[in-house]
Amino acid sequence: MRSDELKKGSQRAPHRSLLKALGLIDEEIKRPIIGIAGSYNEIVPGHMHLDKIIDAVKTGVRLAGGVPLEFSTIAVCDGLAMNHNGMSFSLPSREIIADSAEISATAMPFDAMVFIPNCDKVVPGMLMAAARLNIPSIFISGGPMLAGVFKGKKIGLSNVFEYVGGYENGTMTCDDLAEAENAACPTCGSCSGMYTANTMNCLTEALGMALSGNGTIPAVFSERIRLAKTAGMQVLKLLEADLKPKDIMTKDAFYNAIAVDMALGGSTNSSLHLPAIANECGIELTLKEFDDVSKEVLQICKLSPSGEHFIEDLQMAGGVSAVMNVLHENNCLKEAPTVMLKPQLEVAKMSRVLDNDVIRSFENAYYKNGGLATLYGNLAADGAIVKAGAVDKTMTKHSGPARVFENEEDSVKAILGGQIKKGDVIVIRYEGPKGGPGMREMLAPTATLAGMGLDKYCALITDGRFSGASRGAAIGHISPEAATGGLIGLVKEGDLIEIDIPNRSISLKVSDSEIEKRKATFKPLVKQVESSYLRRYQQVVSSASKGAVLLKNY
Ligand SMILES: CC(C)(O)[C@@H](O)C(=O)O
Ligand SMILES: [Mg+2]
């Protein structure tokens, strides 16, 4: 139902009374009513300025003759939730965001929607809601934080997580750590590297759901306010054209999003979120498809945490549309409609790369594959994911003894306590969607390893997930997870684990007969879960290999 239904007939008089109670006059009620799903709050640095973006969007909507009505959704700052039980709620927040936006925008039927997310789970949660509502919709995010400067070098949040390891092993002083802490996050916006939030904001552009510039224009640039006004105006044009999210988010659009992801070297979390968004569009997207694209598309950008560039550099180099221009030239971009009412290929053709080091050509690519790789093997029958472009060259093939931990905290204690030796393969299990529950991000162990220089010698595998700020031989989303009987639950201290990223494999080098013996007595660990929300989530969440979506028929 659209708001039109509330505007006509005597039966709708009570509804119109309530719209008038909102302060609307008849002149407004007769115009298109545009829902503004904003996620402004004072607890997420990426969202603390969204009130300004929301105001600009409303101005744009009014300029184009619409009437904006705002409602909000929750948001989690993964950085603040990191390495404690708060992180268990981060991935589950995606479903609440999707559900709550669906509920608000169905209870009050709108003609069209503007979604205003910024951080990790809010972007996919709102895209999921957009697919469910399937009324003309556009996305305008809050934009990235500027990079900080420390000792003459640009830094971001990932550096501070790594400096903790440096401080612990005596290579960084307390004063320097404090100076870096003050410098790393200088403005509002989603943290400044190619971490999860910025990956998802860039992919929203690639999917065709946002205007060019959405992924990269910094949060504090006036250009972001102008983009928000333009988005507010554009939604009225989408309404007129009756172009809906499911017309835009087709299989080809998801191909484009994966291709851009591979070129950018984005966060491993995209392999959860894109399948979950696709699922809402009735499209199946598998990990295997990610890997197929990874074999076609080369990583042409190397931003933090893999490299020294930040999103502000990508913006100055031409942004996501310039990356798509390179993809187009190499036949790695598909024709797909966009909210710009121009096909994606046309947008890409009109763009230019302005800095050939930030956005390289295929000939001069940073990595001769896409940024992400999907691994399979006895340890990951349903797949596992690694940010291959951020693995030290010496670690792409590695065998070593398993060092087994039943949760993230114990692994961090062991790393900081000097118990991890060069060559070890750290195994962190019972951190999957069901086992966690909530599939926490393991930034503290990966960053501590990197900060101590151990990322050049040690691998880390988990049924949990990583931050976009994680780097190193960090293999996550191991599926099936330990809690559902996955082989990762059967690994014993000292077992040999073999990782071969170029050949896409991860295996436990234990004889089949020994594995059968262990299986016969295996009882997955059952954790006490205090939160009633997480208990419910645990019952209905699916595998990471399926995007950790909630089972449809529960
Ligand atoms: C806190 C971070 C860096 O934003 C993280 O949540 C990520 O996944 O990238
Ligand atoms: Mg995150």
Which residue in 348, 332, 304 sits closest to 196, CA to CA? 304
Q: What is the pLDDT of residue 7?
A: 85
The amino acid occupying position 178 is: A
Q: What is the pLDDT of residue 155?
A: 98
Tokens of residue 498, six digits:
């073999």
Q: pTM for this structure?
A: 0.98
In tens, the pLDDT along 335-391 reads 999 999 999 999 999 999 999 999 999 999 999 999 999 999 999 999 999 999 999
Q: What is the pLDDT of residue 554?
A: 57
Which residue in 43, 66, 65, 68 sits closest to 54, CA to CA? 68
Q: What is the pLDDT of residue 4?
A: 78
In tens, the pLDDT along 420-467 reads 999 999 999 999 999 999 999 999 999 999 999 999 999 999 999 999
pLDDT-derived band of residue 300, with 50, 70 and 90 as boundaries? very high
Q: What is the pLDDT of residue 1?
A: 66
Contact indicator for 41, 215 with CB cutoff of 8 Å: no
Residues 279, 266: Cα–Cα separation, whole Å: 21
Residue 197 CA to ligand 2 centre (angstroms): 7
Q: Measuring from each residue's beta carbon to the nearest atom of ligand 1, which residues come in under 6 Å?
A: 78-79, 120, 157, 191, 195-197, 267, 269, 441, 467-469
* Binding residue numbers for Mg(2+): 78, 120-121, 441
- The verdict on whether omega for the bond into residue 275 sits within 30 degrees of 0, i.e. cis, is no
Residue 9 CA to ligand 2 centre (angstroms): 48
Contact indicator for 83, 409 with CB cutoff of 8 Å: yes
Q: Which helix or strand (DSSP H or E) is residue 129 part of?
A: helix 122-133
Which residue in 299, 445, 481 sits closest to 372, CA to CA? 299
132 three-class SS = helix
Q: What is the pLDDT of residue 553?
A: 58
pLDDT over 90 at 117, yes or no: yes
Q: What is the pLDDT of residue 171?
A: 93
Residues in the chain: 554
Q: Which helix or strand (DSSP H or E) is residue 506 part of?
A: strand 505-508
- Ligand number with the minimum distance to the CA of 189: 1
- Ligand number with the minimum distance to the CA of 161: 1
The amino acid occupying position 387 is: K
Whether residue 17 lies in the annotated active site? no
Tokens of residue 210, six digits:
């946002």
In tens, the pLDDT along 184-204 reads 999 999 999 999 999 999 999
Start-to-end C-alpha separation, the chain? 26
Using a CB cutoff of 5 Å, list residues around ligand 2, an ion. 78, 120, 196, 467
- Partnered with residue 37 across adjacent β-strands are 71, 115
Tokens of residue 44, six digits:
């997420």
Contacts of 491 (CB under 8 A, 6+ apart): 379, 402, 404, 427, 429, 497, 508
List 467, 542, 543, 545, catalytic entry: 467
In tens, the pLDDT along 54-93 reads 999 999 999 999 999 999 999 999 999 998 999 999 999 9
Q: What is the pLDDT of residue 6?
A: 84
Per cent of the chain over pLDDT 90 is: 96
Task: Tell me which of 83, 192, 195 to substitute to probe ligand 1's pocket, judged by most ligand atoms within 8 Å of the beta carbon.
Answer: 195
ipTM over 0.85: yes
Task: Tell me which of 94, 160, 467, 471 to substitute to probe ligand 1's pocket, judged by most ligand atoms within 8 Å of the beta carbon.
Answer: 467
Which residue in 295, 272, 300, 294 sits closest to 194, CA to CA? 300
